[in-house]
Amino acid sequence: MQLYQALLLACALISPSFAEDVCGTPGIALKIPYFTSRTKALNTAAACGTRCSADRRCKSYGVGAGLCLHYSSPVQQCFKKSSRGPIKFYDRICAPVKLTPPTSISSATGASPDSTPTAGGVDIGGTITTPNVQTTDSPPLTPSSVAFPTDDKSFTATYTYEDDPLPTIAAMGSSPLESGIQATESGLPDLPCMLDPSTTDQFNILGSNFAPLVSQSRGGLVPLPSPTSEAQAKSLGPASQLALPAFSFVKPANVPDGGLTLTSSSTGATLVRRSGQNIITSIFGVDCKGRITVTQAGTSYIWDISGETTRFTAGTSDKRMVAYSLKKASALDRSRPSRRNLSNEGSAPRCPASPPDLMAKVFPGARGLAPNGCGAANGFDFVPDFSFGSCCDDHDNCYDDCAGGSFETCNRNFGKCMRTRGCDYLNNWYSFVPYASCLFAADFYELCVMTSIGRKAFYASNKERCGCYCSAKAGLCGREGDGYTCTSMFGDDVNNCGACDRTCSAKAKCNLGSCACPNDQCGDRCVSLKTHPRNCGSCGNICKSGYCFEGQCYDPPADKCVPGAAFTNGDFSTSGSWNTCQNAQSIGPNLPGFPKGTCSGSINDGKLKMGFNRISAADITTTAKVCPGQQYEFSFTLKPTRLVASSGRNCQFRYRFGEQNWSRYFDFSLDGDQRQGPLYAGAFQDGDFNGLVRKNGLSLDLPIQGTVTCDGTAVVVSFDDFELVPRQ
């Protein structure tokens, strides 16, 4: 870390100046990395970048001096560009792209999905790979009859054809967001509590065991007595439709809103007649879960069933009377149809509204299913002794079911499960009251999980398990803070070709996620087989006339110069037409003890070669055939330099047409072809350059000279594919 302490100290007053993605730019660090490694396996840009892309905290990385560094800020915030900097910096987007598709589960709503997610849950339309440029020749055109132009002069005057280098990757891009987008919990519809004591909504009173309370003849409230015979049970009607006394809270005048409702006096649990209603006027309140509270003179009381009556006991407990809202109970919809999109609709959507039509899936590395029975995690902290355990487990699993479980569907099926599987064993005349209590409890808990308490539990599960992904074979492209869009990367979008923001070079097209020529391809050139005179109808088919029309060679009357192959043997497929080792310059004085250098030139293996032995420079020359006034572009390939001795590493090439000014120098490489061009060459006329350009029939003979210079003593340089073509 001594190196970085020194760098940070030196740059304390430097401000970042970059606002775009940085990929491989040398510089000096302005911040301390949160991760530093000298591991050899991580000291390459590819390896360090791959580790960065797998770390959510990593926003940029640096490589150099044997180090792999990760930063929690983009490059523009943590470095200063400097050619002297020992570290090359990369934004996260520069990392090699690799995607392991997120996994998902699918199950019937309300059922228990598999605890182990299945693979391949997100289809982004293809597989993210390293950048790819198509390199195969286009197939020949299908032969067809062609009606050649009737106006030959008009055709030749306007004739053009496509001839461009293969596409390149202008921007590497990155993989789609792998973890998915999380739902937003803001701006959701209000989910009120079980009962609002500031309203006059009516409710039934149930004991902590959910046994219903009824009025007795002398005015008090008692638990519903159990029937003593089947006939008596039938006389009470269905257990789900019991006629029970209705109650409501009354708020005294001039009392502020709150969780408690107060009156000027109390008659305890005795029914009294006020404002034309039978009410209980104790000091009552109700919490969000519907549990009735009683507070008087600063003392809290527990009101609950005691034997065949009710009793107030000083103290606090979760087990106390509950208010069963008649309004909410009547609104329970037993047969509500499923929503069209479980991920985007309802009072607790799993996915945000933008981008549209997102689908919830299990994200990679999410925990498995975690049912906890009827525990407090989902708000059930005062559960009676009914057989709801398996229903609660199913409800937990439904909350965990990203693809199949919506908030409303899970809650609705939970209520149905409790009313059937949880209560059916009590459906007998001799257990009439427990059965009624069980049904009340089922309704009550379904209502409870539909409040904000249940929604909080739902989103807790959603956050631990689910991410939101695009449908229709698209991936999430964008950046945190800037927003994401659902993007197809395996179609024809040249700005998202095979990965997010992977950009093809100008004139290219995207073909199924690979950058490709816009029309056809022959070798390393983008052409059109319909118009290219040296690839007419099929790659390599040369038209002697220099014209190709609809894939067939066309030979108009020769009343003007027709641009053809400017260089004879420009691809060095045969010998001749080129002069090598011209004007060779030896290294050292030509004196005894200093042998004269030698230069040897040849054309073989499809290349033009020159071997230097104690030669510092030599020329190649030839004559090109061009049309008067036609503007041209020049291209050529410098092959890798081959060293004969330990010196001669640095070789350069420059050229000129006639007596033009010399071009800039172009460096040979030791490890790969260097394709140069197209480079503007100009237009030429008879007599240019003091008569060096001469008319030859309808065309011009144009001399070209190239000079190779090397700083060593023994080296071989090679050329290939010299082209001088009309400027497009």
DSSP track, 525-564: EEE-TTT-TTSSSSTT---TTS-EETTEE-----SS----
Which amino acid makes up residue 591? L
Sign of CA dihedral 110, 116, 119, 121: positive
**Positive/negative CA dihedral, 297, 299, 300, 304:** negative
How far apart are the C-alpha atoms of 97 and 172, rounded to whole Å? 8
- 723 CB-contact burial (10 Å; exposed 0-12 / middle 13-18 / buried 19+): buried
Q: Name residue 607's beta-bridge partners.
A: 604
The structure tokens 């192959």 sit at 565
Instruction: Say what the pLDDT of residue 264 is.
Output: 37
Enter the CATH code of domain 579-726: 2.60.120
Rg (CA), the chain: 42
3-class DSSP state of 505: coil
The residue behind tokens 């069933």 is 305
Tokens standing for 408? 């409303």
Which secondary structure element, helix H or strand E, spans residue 414, and what is its range? helix 407-417
The H or E element spanning position 717 is strand 714-726
Looking at CATH, the fold of the domain delimited by 2-94 is given as: Hepatocyte Growth Factor (3.50.4)
Instruction: Give me the residue label for tokens 């249940």.
Output: 454
Sign of CA pseudo-dihedral 441, 443, 445, 448: negative
d(CA 100, CA 347): 32
Burial status of residue 398 (CB atoms within 10 A of its CB: 0-12, 13-18, 19 or more): buried
Q: What CA–CA distance (Å, rounded) separates 62 from 26?
A: 9
- Structure tokens that stand for 126 in this block: 């293809």
Q: What is the pLDDT of residue 8?
A: 33
Pick out the chain residues at pLDDT < 70. Answer: 1-21, 96-122, 125, 132-134, 150-151, 217-219, 250-283, 333-344, 375-385, 481, 558-559, 588-594, 644-649
In this prediction, residue 84 carries a pLDDT of 78
Please say whether the beta carbons of 177 and 364 come within 8 A. no
Residue closest to 101 by CA, chosen among 470, 512, 397: 470
Distance from C-alpha of 643 to C-alpha of 612, rounded to nearest angstrom:
10
Two tokens, residue 525: 């050139």
Q: What is the pLDDT of residues 609-621, one digit of tens each?
A: 999 888 889 999 9
Q: Dihedrals φ, ψ of 331, to 5°?
A: -90, -10
- Cα–Cα distance between 392 and 442 in angstroms, integer? 11
CA–CA distance, 352 with 483 (Å, rounded to integer): 11
**Residue 127 in contact with residue 150, Cβ under 8 Å?**
no
Q: What is the pLDDT of residue 18?
A: 35
Among the listed residues 107, 74, 126, 56, the one whose alpha carbon sits nearest the alpha carbon of residue 364: 56
Are β-strands 67-71 and 694-696 bridged in parallel, bridged antiparallel, or unpaired? unpaired
Residue showing tokens 């037993």? 334
CA-closest candidate to residue 564, choices 597, 532, 522: 532
- Can you tell me whether residue 463 is helix, strand or coil? helix
Residue 19: CB atoms within 10 Å:
8
Give the whole-angstrom CA distance, residue 524 versus residue 163: 10
Single pTM value for the model:
0.54
Distance CA 300, CA 385 (A): 26
| The pLDDT value given to residue 169 | 82
- The answer to whether residues 154 and 74 touch, using CB atoms and an 8 Å cutoff, is no
Distance CA 440, CA 418 (A): 10
At 126, give phi and psi (nearest 5°).
175, -170
The answer to whether 208 touches 321, Cβ cutoff 8 Å, is yes
The contacts of residue 142 (CB under 8 Å, 6+ apart) are none
**Separation of alpha carbons 720 and 538, rounded Å:** 22
Residue whose C-alpha is closest to residue 637's, from 665, 604, 675: 675
